[in-house]
Structure 1
């Protein structure tokens, strides 16, 4: 509840990365008091549909405007929200994500992962990707926790998310035209969406960039206090 105590009345929505769920935000809940909907397999694999479900969730709560953030895949959903209903976003927080669509190779890899999840279920083959998500120096406790989250995922959700991400459009021009305060956060050792891409993202949005030292692609999980500090400082200065 700290954000509300400090006078920031707009709700904060945080959208999780793949292949995780809303538990990835547990480390920042006490300080940021976020709304954290899960992205589940429903209907056609389309991030626009995921964004509509987030809007429905806000409508059910009577929330007209919110600060919306996302990590990795959650960032893609946040961009889909910006595309659909920019008037609902009072601010945008993008962590360890990118504006561009997939290359043909990346798209093919996602579709292969979706097919494998459906054929084999979720197992060590997917949990084995966790080291690529974390910094080399990430504690074993963090790695074990993330592996557990991955192994908990429903194969249908994994397949849906991969196909939805494979189909997402390029958001470069969307972000360039956006008129919303923005914060971009990136881990120093993020090998999937490295700091160079985060700088490009911040430049597109005319926003602020915060690089968190010693962490990788899951900065809010690896450094929850530093992530919360960055978000709270940005919100206080912009009165969001």
Structure 2
């Protein structure tokens, strides 16, 4: 029995480099694929007359699976990557053999959060991202202890954010604000699921992760102490252990 490949989708406003610390340890056991999402990292932003939508980003993921000849995968994502994994599940459920949802949630944006994303997109279009986007996001992305005691992690996240194309940042912010509620989708999806969350995550706290695990039948919930919203960067060993411990032959094909 061959284990399904693992596709990991990154957070906003980062790119696939956020998986650097977990990619090699996982790849010694599994086939791991870590794409950049449209408009971020090295992935271009296609011209489109349509309003930004995660459905289009989900189509990109399905097109990548087609290109790689992968019928089914275990689909994982951190934060926005989790939202995108849910969009792929909605679009092409037959391609998803399992879910790894990291520091994410199934509920849509509140009106306040949606307005904040609109404001971010407008500011990016006016000013670009230099000098403010990283600083605005770092307090929410990393645990206080990480920011205070691990400057190398702070600098890595800052560098990744500051290298993003402004057009892709604006497009993604607008796409995220219109995502639907996915709790009912997850409730009926019927695939094995792992939910990982940092104990100090201020954006998707443990309560949100518990709600997510609660709607996924038989899901495993792992809480990583001392980590915030970016557990693959803050506690890569914990994320690797959680995934490999959960990834038994049930995900084979």
Correspondence 1:52 to 2:59? yes
Is contact 2:74-2:251 (8 Å) kept?
Answer: no
Match of 1:213 among 215, 225, 242: 225
TM-score (norm: length of structure 2) = 0.90
| Alpha-carbon distance in structure 1 between the residues aligned to 2:56 and 2:251 | 30
When the two structures are superposed, what TM-score results if normalisation uses the length of structure 1?
A: 0.94
Counterparts of 1:227 and 1:172 in 2: how far apart (Å)? 23
Checking the alignment, whether the CA contact within 8 Å between 1:46 and 1:165 is kept in structure 2 is yes
Q: What is the alpha-carbon distance in structure 2 between the residues aligned to residue 214 and residue 38 of structure 1? A: 27
1:8 Cα deviation (Å)?
5.4
Quote the residue 1:156 is aligned against.
Answer: 167
- Report SS of the residue matched to 2:132: helix
Tell me which moved more, 153-162 or 124-133: 124-133
Q: Secondary structure at the match of 1:214?
A: coil
Give the CA deviation at 1:177: 1.1
Whether contact under 8 Å (2:76, 2:101) holds in the other structure is yes
Q: In terms of mean alpha carbon deviation, does 7-16 or 24-33 score higher?
A: 7-16
Match 1:38 to one of 24, 36, 39: 36
Q: Which runs of 4+ in 1 moved over 6 A?
A: none
Which deviations, in whole Å up to 9, do the C-alpha atoms of 1:53-105 show, x marking residues without a partner? Answer: 10100110111010000000000000001101111111100000111111111
Matched residue, 1:137: 145
Post-superposition CA distance 1:25-55 (Å, at most 9, x none): 1111112232111112333411011111101
Does residue 218 of structure 2 align to residue 224 of structure 1?
no
Distance 1:237 1:223 in 2: 25
Tell me what 2:188 maps to. 177
Are residues 149 and 79 of structure 1, via their aligned partners in 2, closer, same or farther at CA, if it must alter by over 3 Å? same
Q: 2: CA distance between counterparts of 1:225 and 1:96?
A: 16
CA contact (8 A) 1:8 1:235 kept: no
Deviation track 1:158-214 (CA, whole Å, cap 9, x = no partner) reads: 001100000111111111111110000000100000001100100111211000111
User: Within 1, Cα distance between the matches of 2:69 and 2:249?
Assistant: 26
| Aligned equivalents of 1:219, 1:154: Cα separation in 2 | 24
Q: Mind listing any 5+ residue stretches in structure 2 that lack a counterpart?
A: 39-44
> What count of residue pairs does the alignment treat as equivalent?
234
Instruction: Identify unmatched segments of 5+ residues in structure 1.
Output: 1-6
Deviation (angstroms), 1:221: 1.1
| Aligned mates of 1:116, 1:202 — CA distance in 2 | 35
